[in-house]
A and B are shown apart, each in its own frame.
Chain A
Amino acid sequence: DTAVSQTPKYLVTQMGNDKSIKCEQNLGHDTMYWYKQDSKKFLKIMFSYNNKELIINETVPNRFSPKSPDKAHLNLHINSLELGDSAVYFCASSQDSGRGQPQHFGDGTRLSIL
């Protein structure tokens, strides 16, 4: 009974391609997030949605486009992949966007650009 599940777990692709990562949560949470973790383990938020509405959009290139078809799903589409996009991408969810709400993370998608 995985709470936050991401697919695929691994993604290896060529520079210039377009790819998507899917995320689903079965916790009934209102808020979902995408994070990027670089090779030094540094974690940075990219986007956050609350009930399908975008509430956080960090300085991320326009090539990254999140989509939330419903509050249980938050997908990430990446156009024209570049070498610097290689990282582990984590999806997370929380009950709501209020202060003090812990976030539940998926196991990550390791994206490798050749």
Chain B
Amino acid sequence: GNSVTQMEGPVTLSEEAFLTINCTYTATGYPSLFWYVQYPGEGLQLLLKATKADDKGSNKGFEATYRKETTSFHLEKGSVQVSDSAVYFCALQGAQKLVFGQGTRLTINP
């Protein structure tokens, strides 16, 4: 079945550092790929998405590119802020179901 693997957390960075959170997937067919973010005490919010190979999703300075050849959808940001501290989830959607990675907790120190 479909599955998503994210890099293990927690990840701790200093403000203005470069961020990469790795995400790889296994899927049949042509899934859509998503990054969601969860702030403390809240539900998940869509951060960005890509629906076909080579698409780049971007939002709030975050980017991820749908790489079919490496089955990856890594999340990047050039300069993180304290307000980016949250749990980040990579997810894929096949026919109907959204399948999540295990989440990566990110902490940004001032």
Q: Give residues in A with beta carbon < 8 Å to B.
A: 4, 33, 40-45, 48, 55-56, 90, 92, 97, 99-108
Contact = CB atoms under 8 A, between A and B. Distances in A.
Contact of B49 (A100, A105, A107): A100
Given A42-B103, A43-B89, 15 more contacts: A41-B103, A42-B102, A43-B103, A44-B100, A45-B97, A48-B96, A48-B97, A90-B43, A90-B44, A99-B31, A99-B94, A101-B93, A104-B46, A105-B45, A108-B42
Contact of B102 (A40, A45, A100, A108): A40
Contact of A55 (B38, B46, B49, B96): B96
B46 A103 contact: yes
Contacts of A92: 43-44
A100 B48 CA distance: 11
6 contacts: A48-B97, A90-B44, A99-B51, A99-B94, A103-B46, A105-B45
A104 B41 CA distance: 16
Interface string B19-57: 000000000001110101010011111100101000000
